[in-house]
Structure 1
Amino acid sequence: AVVAYQDYLLAEDYQEGIDQDARILGWSMTKSVGNALFGIMDKNGAIDIEATPDIPQWQEDDRKDITVSHLLQMSAGLDWTESYSSLTNATRMIFMEKDHVKYSCLAEAEHPPGEHWYYSSGTSNILSGILRNKFDSFDDYLAFPYDSLFAPLGMHSAVIEMDNVGNHVLSSYCWATARDWTRFGLLYLYRGNWLGKQIFTEDWTDYSTSAAPASDGKYGAQIWINENPWRMPSVPTDAFYEQGFGGQRILIVPSMDLVVTVMSGNQPDFDFNSFYEQVFECLGEE
């Protein structure tokens, strides 16, 4: 775990066999990396999130009305099962399909876009395909996260794995040290600004951390929010967080000037709320 408070790296602690140089898989925290990449594209005027993506097989049915924003907000209305205990869309995509984007785009419309929220790793990989189509060359697409996000932040440990056809797996497969994951959280605390350079706009931060209309106050755009504090009743409602399967979480609390990164070692039932209560007590922020 790493605690950054009021611009200081205040505390860090590691289990035996893990140290500050160990790359740790973020699982679905990678979705928030995808958010940042779209934020950079938005700042550069390279994407319109209110536009519909150019996915040919969607143009002849109800999916033609899905916007990039619907996808970012997990409100595209696609038929998908996000469960990891059996063979589902999510596990088949991650472990069996060579092309995660192509497979995810096969999902049929189940609800009108924007009216139903459902968490979907397939949606995040559709976004990866949309991103890929914005680049003139494969090399430019591959380099984009490193040149535009990781290098400016000093996240030199960060690596995004690809599927078998070269798509960044933006649902699941970014690795970084706990310190570098904390840098990523600080970027959002600083509203997209890093050492005077605006990586993405403040408006993008607001969009990303505002509730998707269909999410009941629990999700923004590839980022969880605490407006509805169903997971963390002891945490301020201005908080938001990036979360991965197995107990990985970056908590950002703007009202406390605080970022807490926990990589709990494959403990999906880790009690984050109680842990944060202890952190707040240590900081005098109860």
Structure 2
Amino acid sequence: MKRTLLKGLKRTGWFVLILFLSLNVFVLLSGRFYLYKGIYYTYLQGETSPTIYDLDKFHNATVKAPKKSEPWAFDLAKSELLHKDDLKYMDTWKTSSFLVVKNDKVIYERYWDEHHPETVSNSFSAAKTVVSILIGIALEDGDIKSLDEPVYKYIPEFTGKGKEKITIRHLLAMSSGLDWTESGKNPLSENAESYYGWDLRGLVTRQHTERAPGKEFIYQSGNSQLLAFILEKATGKDLTQYASEKFWQPIGAESDAFWSLDKENGDEKAFCCLYSTTRDFARIGKVLINHGKWNDKQVIPAGYFDEMVKNPVMTTEEGVPNTRYGLHIWTYTSKGHPVYYCRGIKGQYIIAIPDEQLVIVRTGHKRAPDTDPKILKTANTKANQEKIGHPSDLFEYIRMGREVAASNSFKPSDYLKF
């Protein structure tokens, strides 16, 4: 028996050794040295992918809050999640925080596990909407002349093989036609290299065109990164500084935010990786429900806001009309009401329903799959068609937020009406 066990251990040892050597040969031949960093920060830490608490794993820059913040008003007394099944649902998708704002007051706030009001966590792709907002501000200030300017005007090396035809608008609408591979699981994708690598500028400027721009919505994080480089060239400021001055401070943030960099003193990972508290994420939602305003201040230029939330005319990968995406912001119509939202791969949501003056923020570790387009096409109703491309948990968080808001509006005097 001992001899059999020793043979088994030897086989395992040889297998691990061969696997290790093969991996190293692949990395050396392909030049994908970022894989070492990715493996160290995931599998060797007991994870299988990036986490919402990766801030200290990378260099970062501080998005400074104003010296005088504008704290939220709270009205929590009457609000509760109405069904115990909702809490079970939250646990299923490993929720870390859930916050609801109604009429400028926080009416519900709950945290799970080690997460608390001061915890900063990764926005992942929810940060893309902030990049779009900054583009709109730079456009209003005249630093960017037009959304229809070619990208190469601001990034001279972004030329060749059709890239000269790509405009800022194409990047914002996710219709650039570039060959970026968008994947949260494939370690060989551009997403993985952009997250764990150290040359963002080289990565995004080396992209090639696969199709004519402006025709088809294909979600690609590389578009957002190019927008960040455009902002830096146009404004003469790095993304973090510009975000601090033009957005984070005007909306009265209570806490500093942090943006991950690709290396020390390097470039912000603009496609993701803006870390903030849940309460400050909710401020983005407040601006969205108020047509770009924070209280009486027009933070997002009104004209740009109108363009941002409008769906550009094009088709999607599923071959249906684009009803889901504006200029770096997701859109949805619920019960006849427009919904604007930011989302991240782990289920980060900042949901704004202007008609109801309702903001819903959810952060966590898992996101439900996108609604199955095959099932929705079979149903063949307008309401179902509009759900294509949206994760199924989005609709649950909207429902929960509405139920919380309804419970908050119930007062003892209402008993007299029965």
TM-score (norm. length: structure 1):
0.90
Once residues 220 and 349 of structure 2 are traced to their aligned partners in structure 1, the CA distance between those partners, rounded to angstroms, is 18
Alignment of 1:192-211 (within 5 A): 192-211=292-311
Partner of 2:395 in structure 1? 273
In structure 2, relative to structure 1, the CA distance for the partners of 1:200 and 1:277 (3 Å cut) is closer
SS at match of 2:235: coil
Which structure shows the higher helix fraction? Answer: 2
> How much does 1:259 deviate?
0.6
- Asked if the contact 2:259/2:269 (under 8 Å) is kept, the reply is yes
User: In structure 2, what is the Cα distance between the partners aligned to 1:160 and 1:101?
Assistant: 16
**Residue identity opposite 1:91 in structure 2:** A
Q: Distance in 1 between matches of 2:295 and 2:329?
A: 23
Aligned residues: 275
- Are the counterparts in 1 of residues 337 and 355 from structure 2 also a CA contact under 8 Å? no
* More off after superposition, 205-214 vs 177-186: 205-214
1:219 aligns with 2:316: no
Deviation at residue 16 of structure 1 after TM alignment: 2.7
Tell whether 2:214 aligns with 1:92.
no
User: 1:110-149 alignment to 2 at 5 Å?
Assistant: 110-136=210-236, 141-149=239-247
What SS is found at the alignment partner of 1:206?
helix
Give the equivalent residue in structure 2 for 1:231. none
Partner of 1:65: 165
TM-superposed CA distance for 1:137, in Å, is 5.5
* 1:226-241 matches, cutoff 5 A: 226-227=332-333, 236-241=336-341
User: Aligned equivalents of 1:7 and 1:162: distance in 2?
Assistant: 33
Matches within 5 A, 1:1-286: 1-47=98-144, 48-53=146-151, 54=153, 55-86=155-186, 87-96=188-197, 98-136=198-236, 141-155=239-253, 156-164=255-263, 166-214=266-314, 215=316, 216-227=322-333, 236-263=336-363, 265-269=364-368, 271-284=393-406
3-state DSSP of counterpart to 1:211: coil
Deviation at 1:236, TM superposition (A): 4.7
**Structure 2: unaligned runs, 5 residues or longer:** 1-97, 317-321, 369-391, 408-418
> Distance between the aligned counterparts of 1:39 and 1:121, measured in 2?
19
Q: Is the 8 A contact 2:285 2:350 kept in 1?
A: yes
In structure 1, distance between residues paired with 2:335 and 2:331: 11
- Give the corresponding residue for 2:379: none
- 201-210 vs 265-274, greater mean Cα deviation: 265-274
Q: Whole-Å Cα distance in 2 between the matches of residues 137 and 207 of structure 1?
A: 25
Secondary structure of the structure 2 residue equivalent to 1:160: strand
Secondary structure in 2 aligned to 1:239? Answer: strand
Residue identity opposite 1:203 in structure 2: G
Residues 22, 176 of structure 1: 8 Å contact kept: yes
* 177 and 137 in structure 1: CA distance in 2 versus 1, 3 angstrom threshold: closer
List structure 1 segments (4+ residues) > 6 angstroms apart after TM superposition.
none
Greater C-alpha radius of gyration: 2
Distance of 2:290 and 2:267 partners within structure 1: 29
| Structure-2 change in CA distance of 1:17 and 1:236 (3 Å) | farther
Contact 2:331 2:341 in 1 (8 A): yes
Structure 2 match to 1:230: none
Unaligned ranges ≥5, structure 1 = 228-233
